[in-house]
Amino acid sequence: MLSQEPGVFPGNIRENLLMGLRFSEKPLATEPELEKILQLVQLKMTLDNPTANLSLGERQRVALGRVLLMNPQVLLLDEPSSALDETTEHLMIKSLVDFTRKGGKTLVMVTHSKKVIENFQMRVIQLKKNQTLSDKEVPR
């Protein structure tokens, strides 16, 4: 589960990525695994980079990487790319969708981006207040 406002712990990117594994008492990831996650979330930084001076978009990606590293079966993401530019957003959501498809995982994502919906939709539920406006499956 990932909230819209990314919570990032003091320290560097490596410590933040490992935080979820530590909390859930899972075996820690190796350096190559951590590097792979950085690529997956389109973050071009070193693992030693301190989190204090990251931008909102960078923090969002660190938080997403931290969740992906835990290898969950179901991902609930609240606007994970809201602070990203269009190109980075596209690249990140693409690798995220590939990651979930390959792993046979479920991805539930809230977004306001029409581009993301057009490019990656599978089943789109439009909500307004407490009502469902539409619910359609898109065959691929």
Question: Applying CB under 8 A, which part among 5-13, 37-45, 100-108, 121-129 lies near another protein?
Answer: 5-13
Four-CA torsion 54, 90, 101, 76, nearest 10 degrees: 50
Helix 86-102 × helix 56-69 angle, to 10°: 0
Q: Which of 24, 53, 131, 132 binds another protein (CB under 8 A)?
A: 24
If one asks whether residue 67 binds another protein (CB under 8 A), the answer comes out as: yes
If one asks whether residue 66 binds another protein (CB under 8 A), the answer comes out as: yes
Q: Which of 13, 29, 41, 63 binds another protein (CB under 8 A)?
A: 63
Task: State which of positions 88-127 bind another protein (CB under 8 A).
Answer: none
Closest separation between CB of residue 86 and another protein, Å? Answer: 27
Total interface residues for another protein by CB under 8 A: 16
Handedness of CA 90, 95, 101, 106 (dihedral sign): negative
The token pair at 1 is 């589960």
Q: Which of 4, 9, 56, 98 binds another protein (CB under 8 A)?
A: 9
CB 47 within 8 A of CB 32: no
Question: Applying CB under 8 A, which part among 16-24, 85-93, 100-108, 116-124 lies near another protein?
Answer: 16-24
The site for another protein (CB under 8 A) is made up of 1-3, 5-9, 19-20, 23-24, 63, 66-67, 70
